């Protein structure tokens, strides 16, 4: 049996694991995720997307920490089989696997994570993936150039300190000082810096250019539902309230999938979400997949997958 995520996180760190496996990532809980999502949609699709809403309006799905798109594809499969004529409009978010998500789902994805939600990026018009990548490349280039400038400044100061030490030693020995040579060396330093400054500006201009967009600004989108599948544990407790509260201002509903109820119970009302009660859903009497609060399934390893549905109280 493959090692658990918790074991991999401990041995490789979260960043190390997803960086190393970004192109080949596969969620071992996918069968359970699909079953659990299908149970939630069976019970609550008409709650998430009311029947009186125009069928031409696609189901907006925000797949957070999207991995390889397992949740998005599960939603697409269920909608295609049970809600003919309704399309879904997914947007994936994952700083590591966004390219894999795009390849598997043919839908848009951004290299964003929970940090961008916390910073309020979803409350602004969503940029194109190309614009996001250009901005990230610009930031990396600016950081690289700042490091180069700092290193050169340190080298310049070291040379000046060495020259000053040589001058002080010469003065102590009573030797004459060639002031013109000293001025010439300072001028040489300035001349050496000019080509590098010009090159830096050229690089920055080249990276900045693709960000130019003549299209009129678009409003920030409102999604029908956000899905966080086996990822809520990646949000630190001290950032959980603000992160979920920000998300509640962009999504009307939220589905969380997790291996146990402890993860699900991290979502409190003060975070901007209310757990949808069973009487607002169409749950079959005696259902074996719903315990009155949470939905349950099992993955191919026999491990449980739990899920819950919440409604934002920041959006109507």
pLDDT at 287 over 80: yes
Domain carrying residue 29: 5-126+222-312
Kindly state whether residue 216 falls inside one of the protein's structural domains: no
Report the chain's mean pLDDT, rounded to a whole number.
Answer: 83
Based on the structure, what is the number of domains in the chain?
Answer: 2
> What mean pLDDT is predicted for residues 182-208?
53
Alpha carbons 116 and 309: distance in angstroms, whole number? 23
- In terms of domains, do 143 and 60 share one? no
Residues of the chain above pLDDT 90, percent: 53
Last residue of a domain, one of 186, 211, 236: 211
- In terms of domains, do 119 and 15 share one? yes
- In terms of domains, do 33 and 110 share one? yes
Q: Among 41-45, 49-53, 146-150, which is the least confidently predicted range?
A: 146-150
Task: Give the torsion sign (CA, 76, 81, 82, 84).
Answer: positive
Kindly state whether residue 95 falls inside one of the protein's structural domains: yes
- In terms of domains, do 36 and 60 share one? yes
Alpha carbons 264 and 313: distance in angstroms, whole number? 18
Last residue of a domain, one of 154, 189, 211: 211
**Angle between helix 179-208 and 129-173 (nearest 10):** 180
- In terms of domains, do 193 and 231 share one? no
Kindly state whether residue 217 falls inside one of the protein's structural domains: no
- In terms of domains, do 122 and 33 share one? yes
- In terms of domains, do 122 and 143 share one? no
Supply the CATH number for residue 89's domain. 3.40.50.150
Q: CB–CB of 310/275 below 8 Å?
A: yes
Alpha carbons 255 and 295: distance in angstroms, whole number? 11
- In terms of domains, do 163 and 293 share one? no
> What mean pLDDT is predicted for residues 84-105?
95
Task: Give the torsion sign (CA, 98, 304, 279, 262).
Answer: negative
pLDDT at 148 over 60: yes
pLDDT at 292 over 90: yes
- In terms of domains, do 19 and 142 share one? no
Check residue 142 and give its pLDDT.
79
Kindly state whether residue 243 falls inside one of the protein's structural domains: yes
pLDDT at 177 over 50: yes
Q: Who has greater pLDDT, 91 or 269? A: 91
Check residue 149 and give its pLDDT.
85
- In terms of domains, do 11 and 114 share one? yes
Alpha carbons 126 and 90: distance in angstroms, whole number? 13
Single pTM value for the model: 0.72
- Taking the mean position of all CA atoms in its chain, how far away is CA 104? 18
pLDDT at 115 over 90: yes
Count of positions (residues) in the chain: 316
- In terms of domains, do 274 and 192 share one? no
pLDDT at 191 over 80: no
At residue 145 the predicted structure's pLDDT band, cuts being 50, 70 and 90, is confident
Check residue 66 and give its pLDDT.
96
pLDDT at 207 over 60: no
Closest by alpha carbon to 253, among 177, 176, 173, 312?
312
Q: Who has greater pLDDT, 176 or 292? A: 292
Alpha carbons 185 and 183: distance in angstroms, whole number? 5
pLDDT digits (tens, 9 = 90+) for 7-30: 555 564 555 545 555 555 667 789
Last residue of a domain, one of 156, 189, 211: 211
- In terms of domains, do 117 and 141 share one? no
What does the angle CA 240 – CA 246 – CA 249 come to, to the nearest 5 degrees? 140
């Amino acid at each position: 049996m493959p090692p658990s995520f918790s074991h991999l996180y401990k041995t490789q760190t979260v960043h190390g694991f997803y960086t190393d496996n970004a192109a080949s990532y596969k969620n071992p809980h996918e069968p359970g995720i699909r079953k659990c999502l299908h149970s939630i949609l069976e019970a609550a699709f008409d709650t998430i997307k009311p029947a009186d809403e125009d069928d031409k309006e696609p189901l907006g799905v925000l797949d957070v920490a999207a991995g390889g798109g397992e949740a998005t594809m599960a939603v697409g499969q269920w909608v295609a089989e049970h809600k003919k004529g309704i399309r879904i409009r997914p947007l994936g978010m994952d700083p590591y696997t966004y390219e894999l998500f795009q390849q598997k789902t043919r839908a848009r994805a951004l290299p964003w994570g929970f940090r961008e939600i916390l910073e309020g990026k979803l409350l602004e018009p969503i940029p194109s993936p190309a614009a996001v990548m250009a901005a990230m490349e610009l930031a990396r280039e600016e950081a690289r150039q700042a490091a180069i400038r700092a290193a050169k400044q340190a080298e310049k100061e070291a040379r000046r300190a060495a020259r000053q030490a040589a001058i002080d030693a010469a003065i102590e020995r009573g030797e004459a000082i060639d002031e013109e040579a000293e001025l010439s060396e300072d001028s040489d330093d300035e001349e050496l810096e000019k080509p590098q400054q010009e090159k830096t500006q050229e690089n920055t201009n080249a990276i900045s250019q693709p960000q130019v967009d003549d299209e009129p600004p678009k409003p920030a989108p409102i999604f029908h539902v956000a899905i966080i599948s086996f990822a809520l544990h990646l949000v630190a407790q001290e950032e959980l309230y603000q992160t979920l509260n920000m998300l509640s201002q962009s999504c009307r509903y939220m589905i969380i999938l997790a291996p146990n109820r402890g993860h699900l119970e991290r979502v409190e009302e003060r975070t901007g979400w209310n757990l949808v009660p069973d009487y607002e859903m169409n749950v079959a009497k005696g259902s074996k997949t719903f315990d009155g609060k949470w939905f349950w399934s099992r993955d191919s390893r026999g491990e449980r997958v739990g899920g819950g549905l919440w409604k934002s109280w920041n959006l109507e």
